[in-house]
Amino acid sequence: MNKEGCLFCRIIRGDVPATRVHEDEQVLAIRDINPQAPVHVLVIPKDHVATIGDSLETVNAPNRLFALFHAAGKLAVELGIQRSGYRVVVNSGAEGGQTVDHLHLHLLGGRQMVWPPG
Ligand code: AMP
Ligand code: ZN
């Protein structure tokens, strides 16, 4: 999927509505439309890279990955799941279960997580 047709790029541009919970220069965080936990937020880099591997091929990789984890950690505090605990997930590629080919972290919390994941 190219940038123009990418769902998350369209959300970042404001062409598709989403519930925004955080935005800064590098990152947008939105509520997942199909939440898998009481708190389910997607933390998305504003520049289009499909996967962790694609991100690593860019000069901005360290900044981008730091910005994603930094935002996820701050949001965990703001959304009240820092103390109880939470999970951060990146699905990557077909067997990883990735359905939107724009890198994103899932921040999940508000219920007991189980291991191993499905
Ligand atoms: P993944 O399967 O890891 O690629 O995650 C994609 C996530 O995007 C899924 O959890 C979907 O529920 C979520 N999603 C799909 N469309 C939207 C949308 N329009 N707004 C918010 N979240 C979405
Ligand atoms: Zn994109």
Q: What is the CATH number of the domain that holds 35?
A: 3.30.428.10
* Residue 12, domain member (yes or no): yes
Q: Judge whether residue 31 has pLDDT over 90.
A: yes
* Residue 103, domain member (yes or no): yes
* Residue 114, domain member (yes or no): no
DSSP E strands: which ranges in 35-117? 39-45, 86-89, 105-109
| Atom from ligand 1 closest to the CA of residue 99 | 4
> Residue 4: which pLDDT band, with cuts at 50, 70 and 90?
confident
> Residue 16: which pLDDT band, with cuts at 50, 70 and 90?
very high
- Residue 104 annotated among the catalytic residues of the structure: yes
Gap from CA of 4 to ligand 2 centroid (Å): 8
Contact by Cβ (8 Å): 11, 18: yes
* Residue 82, domain member (yes or no): yes
Structure tokens at 36: 């898998």
Domain that residue 21 falls in: 7-109
* Residue 70, domain member (yes or no): yes
* Residue 57, domain member (yes or no): yes
Q: Which of 33, 68, 101 to mutate to test the pocket of ligand 1 (most atoms within 8 A of CB)?
A: 33
| Atom from ligand 1 closest to the CA of residue 98 | 4
Q: What is the pLDDT of residues 52-99, one digit of tens each?
A: 999 999 999 999 999 999 999 999 999 999 999 999 999 999 999 999
Q: Which of 48, 31, 26, 55 is nearest to 106 (CA)?
A: 31
* Residue 115, domain member (yes or no): no
Average pLDDT, the chain: 97
Q: Judge whether residue 1 has pLDDT over 90.
A: no
Give how many domains the chain has, as a whole number: 1
* Residue 1, domain member (yes or no): no
